[in-house]
Amino acid sequence: MYAIGALSRATDCKVETIRYYEKIGLMPEPARSEGNQRRYGERHRERLYFIRHCRDLGFSIEAIRELLALSDDQHRDCAAVDALARRHRDAVDDRIRALTALREELDRMIHRCAGGDVAHCGVIEALGDHRLCRHAHR
C-alpha cells in the first residue's frame, strides 16, 4: 500500500494531480487508513502510470476517460481503441502541419531582416502587416 506521497514519488506525479484525477473520476477512490489517510494499491499505481503515459502522448482527459473505460472491458473488441488512437494521431498530424507552416513563416520573416536598424527590420515589418505572410496562422 502507498500513501499519497509515496505514490507521487513512485509515479513522478504531483500529489495535487493525483487528487485532481480522483476528483474527476479517472482514479478510483482509495481506501482510507484508521487515521483517514489515503491508501493506494498496485491497481492505483498501474492506472496512474497509464494516465500519465496517455498525457505524455497528448491525449485529452476525455480521451483518457474513454480509453480507461475501454481498457476496463478486457473482452471488448479493440476497434474503438484503434479508432480513438487514429483520431488522436490525425490531430497530431494536423498540428505538425500547422507548426511546420508557422516555422516556415517565421523563417521567411527572419530572412527578410537584413540587419540594420529596427525602422528597416523585415521581421517588424512582417509582424505589422499580415498581408506579407503566406499562411494564415490563427
Q: Is the pLDDT of residue 103 over 80?
A: yes
Q: Is the pLDDT of residue 126 over 90?
A: no
Q: Is the pLDDT of residue 138 over 70?
A: no
The amino acid at residue 105 is E
pLDDT confidence of 27, banded at 50, 70, 90?
A: very high
Give residue limits of the domains in the chain: 4-76
DSSP string spanning 23-50?
Answer: HTTSSPPPEE-TT--EEB-HHHHHHHHH
At the topology level, CATH places domain 4-76 in Multidrug-efflux Transporter Regulator; Chain: A; Domain 2 (1.10.1660)
Q: Does the global pTM surpass 0.75?
A: yes
DSSP string spanning 102-135?
Answer: HHHHHHHHHHH--SS-GGG-HHHHHHH-GGG-SS
Q: Is the pLDDT of residue 56 over 70?
A: yes
User: How much is the average pLDDT of 18-46?
Assistant: 93
CA distance 88 to 86: 5
